[in-house]
Amino acid sequence: MKITDIKVIVCSPGRNFVTVKIMTDQGLYGVGDATLNGREKAVVAYLEEHVIPCLIGRDASRIEEIWNYLYRGAYWRRGPVTMCAIAGIDTALWDIKAKAANMPLYQLLGGASREHVLAYTHAQGTDIAECVDAVGARLGEGFKAVRCQTGIPGLRDVYGTGKYSVTTNAAQDAMPREESWSTPKYLSYVPGLFDRVRAEFGEDVHLLHDTHHRLTPIEAARLGKDLEPYRLFWLEDSVAAEHQEGFRLIRQHTTTPLAVGEVFNTIWDARLLIEEQLIDYIRMTVVHAGGVSAMRRVMDFAAVYNVRTGCHGAMDMSPICLGANLHLDLWAPNFGIQEYSGYLPEIEEVFPHAWSLSEGMLHPGDAIGHGVDIDEKLAKKYPYQRAYLPVNRLEDGTPWHW
Ligand code: CS2
Ligand code: MG
């Protein structure tokens, strides 16, 4: 089966997405997500200028060979742009292979290890009271696991709260907007959020929290200890995870489960964290990790060390990435949980999908391939518009982790 053409489709139904579509001489095609939030056009250029010309005419069935041709062959390996580009190609090739085998992707991976995939979703508020109400609303929708994020008194536009709780292309993102941060104010306020949520909803709800890379190891250790009474499912990205060794200090002080990895793009980024069991969940996801081939390796490696999966699934990962994740989630023996922050209606129209959500549980569906497509005609109605992720500063103006 030969690759005859490869398209890169950029569209913006509420936010930007980059989609790879691979056509073959047997009439089968596959699609893959290659979206890198805030740097989409860098991936488009990498694909169009450097990857696609090398792939036309190659055998579409040789997924592993093509993955290594693109990873090792580039010489300048790793990094978010490279790995998103490889992910788009790899995911599309797995889609084709599963279609050619006339089965859903999870069957090709080894079949289902469970009946469905536990999801967690987002609840946020500009203060604790608003967040508690949002948690109640999400539980009312049937979710069993909820990520809780609150604004901090005295700080404006804290990550993931208020009108900026959803990463969209709204006009305010046309240039990087600025947010403010104070670790002391955050550390004093957040335990009170979980005290209220537990008091309101009891012990049976899975509660998660995302610090979004903003603490030092000892600050994260203190927060982990302060949150222990509230039995979190996980505390995510407590420290900027390039500093893998920093998690040894956190581990010495707290039993709060730790999750890291959404910004990682190769297994090497997570090696120490997984080998030393410094984390409990690996957050890597198909689109940023280099595709299905790479994500399967990460999941298998994590399984050896009792680390479970917790694939990233915010709205800036397209429904194609979510679909591919769900096939891996259904198969993986060490599955943990799948993030699902939901999609705007126009996104679901552009990306018709076989995956489904019911009572807080997801399933990839049994369509052949990964079960997600792109409606190219509809996609054209939503042209790309440059948009940035915010920039975060401490109160004294120091640029900080967003
Ligand atoms: C967040 C993401 O969902 C999460 O865990 O960290 O929403 C993240 O902010 C975005 O994916 C960045 O594009
Ligand atoms: Mg996160």
CA-CA-CA-CA torsion for 81, 327, 370, 292, nearest 10 degrees?
A: 30
**All structural domains of the chain with their residue ranges:** 3-104, 108-367
Mean pLDDT of the residues in the chain: 96
Average pLDDT for residues 42-71, to the nearest whole number?
A: 98
- For ligand 1, atom 2, the nearest C-alpha belongs to 314
**Beta strand pairing status for 117-125 and 391-394?**
unpaired
Q: Using the mean position of ligand 1's atoms as its centre, give its distance from the Cα of residue 25 in Å.
A: 38
Index of the ligand 1 atom closest to the CA of residue 341:
3
The domain covering 108-367 belongs, at the CATH homologous superfamily level, to: Enolase-like C-terminal domain (3.20.20.120)
Token pair in block for residue 293: 């081939």
Strands (E) located in 301-400:
308-309, 338-339, 356-358, 361-363, 391-394, 399-400
CA-CA distance, 389 to 376, in Å (whole number)? 26
Q: What's residue 174's pLDDT?
A: 75
Tally of CB atoms within 10 A around 171: 9
Q: Which amino acid is at 5?
A: D
Average pLDDT for residues 30-48, to the nearest whole number?
A: 98
Which residues are tagged catalytic? 159, 212
Q: 13-22, 150-159, 254-263, 290-299 — which is least confidently predicted? A: 150-159
Q: pLDDT for 162-201, tens place per residue?
A: 766 665 655 556 788 889 999 999 999 999 999 999 999 9
**HEC-encoded secondary structure of 82-132:** HHHHHHHHHHHHHHHHHHHCCCEHHHHHCCCCCCCEEEEEEEEECCHHHHH
Q: Using the mean position of ligand 1's atoms as its centre, give its distance from the Cα of residue 310 in Å.
A: 13
Q: What's residue 259's pLDDT?
A: 98
Average pLDDT for residues 13-42, to the nearest whole number?
A: 97
- For ligand 1, atom 11, the nearest C-alpha belongs to 314
Q: pLDDT for 369-400, tens place per residue?
A: 999 999 999 999 999 999 999 999 999 999 99
- Nearest listed ligand to the Cα of residue 39: 1
The pick from 167, 238, 284, 311 for probing ligand 1's pocket by mutation, whose C-beta has the most ligand atoms within 8 angstroms, reads 167
Q: What's residue 165's pLDDT?
A: 63
Q: Which long-range contacts (CB under 8 A, 24 or more apart) does 375-378 make?
A: 375/349, 375/350, 375/351, 376/9, 376/21, 378/13, 378/349, 378/350
Token pair in block for residue 278: 């410094």
- Nearest listed ligand to the Cα of residue 315: 1
Higher pLDDT, 16 or 162: 16
Index of the ligand 1 atom closest to the CA of residue 283:
5
CATH number belonging to domain 3-104: 3.30.390.10
Q: Using the mean position of ligand 2's atoms as its centre, give its distance from the Cα of residue 19 in Å.
A: 22
Index of the ligand 1 atom closest to the CA of residue 402:
9
Q: pLDDT for 70-129, tens place per residue?
A: 999 999 999 999 999 999 999 999 999 999 999 999 999 999 999 999 999 999 999 999
Of the chain, the percentage scoring pLDDT greater than 70 comes to 97
- For ligand 1, atom 13, the nearest C-alpha belongs to 37
- For ligand 1, atom 7, the nearest C-alpha belongs to 314
Q: What's residue 169's pLDDT?
A: 57
pLDDT at 269 over 70: yes
CA-CA distance, 154 to 70, in Å (whole number)? 48
Q: Using the mean position of ligand 1's atoms as its centre, give its distance from the Cα of residue 101 in Å.
A: 34
Q: Give the relative orientation of helices 80-100 and 63-71 as an angle to the nearest 10 degrees.
A: 170
In the structure, which protein residues have their CB atom closer than 6 angstroms to any atom of ligand 1?
37, 167, 210, 212, 262, 312, 314, 316, 339, 389
Radius of gyration (C-alpha) of the chain in whole angstroms? 20
Nearest residue to 290 via CA among 260, 315, 314, 270? 270
Q: Using the mean position of ligand 1's atoms as its centre, give its distance from the Cα of residue 53 in Å.
A: 32
